[in-house]
Amino acid sequence: MRGAVRRISAWALGAAVFGAVAAFPATLGAGLRPSAGIFCLTPTCNRAIENVVDRVDDHLAMRMMELEDPRRRDLAKAIVAEAGAAGIDPFLVLAVIEVESSYDPSALSHRGARGLMQLLEPTMRQEMARSGIEYDDPHDPVANVRAGIRYLKRLLDVFGREELALMAYNAGPNRILGHIRAGPIPERFHAYPRRVLAELRRLRRTVGDPDAPLVAEVLRAERSL
């Protein structure tokens, strides 16, 4: 009976994800616009956002010493703005960057993935075109994180669970979908989300403010005014 329940659950999850992936290229990510910054209506919102930007900027200063102001500050603002618009913890973005490229904007994988968030150029091109953002260099850190966060957001919308979305980010959505439909996802695919989520926990302890609300929560409260 338990085996049957597991098979039914896997089938139901696979069917749901398959339907979402079928619509993946056309529908997901719609409504997101280029984020040059976050605009708050209240001083409380401004302070909360600036606090997170400051913390991200300080962390980038330690991990990307070659990137000077104001370019580094622009990158911190882009990470916080895009993450806030997508409803993603900006420290999750930093965790992905750590695991993917160790903060090396010139990183290039053997598969051709580029930049801080290690995007294949077709993926980056599609994300930027979908959002109406022009860019010249796939290694440009601001453009790369904008595209990477938007791609991660679409994967979270499709797969529903953070762990599955991270597996899809690392291994490709179609590969993870195939394993979902076939049965349990092989253990080797679980290593990547474990590394990212472990780094996220570390960043929240060492860089984040445990008493501060998430950027997405601040923005939701702001929009409700």
Report the predicted TM-score, pTM, of the whole model to 2 decimal places.
0.80
The percentage of residues in the chain with a pLDDT greater than 90, rounded to a whole number, is 63
Q: Which 3 state secondary structure label does DSSP give 119? A: strand
Average pLDDT over residues 62-82: 95
pLDDT value of position 105 = 97
Higher pLDDT, 183 or 96: 96
- Residue 202 pLDDT grade (very low, low, confident, very high; cuts 50, 70, 90): very high
Burial of 217 (0-12, 13-18, 19+ CB in 10 A): middle
Neighbours of 5 (CB within 10 A): 9
pLDDT value of position 48 = 82
pLDDT value of position 225 = 55
pLDDT value of position 77 = 94
Average pLDDT over residues 29-52: 63
Q: Give per-residue pLDDT as tens, 101-148.
A: 999 999 999 999 999 999 999 999 999 999 888 888 999 999 999 999
pLDDT value of position 134 = 85
206 Cβ neighbours under 8 A, 6+ residues apart: none
Distance of CA 175 to the CA centre of its chain: 19
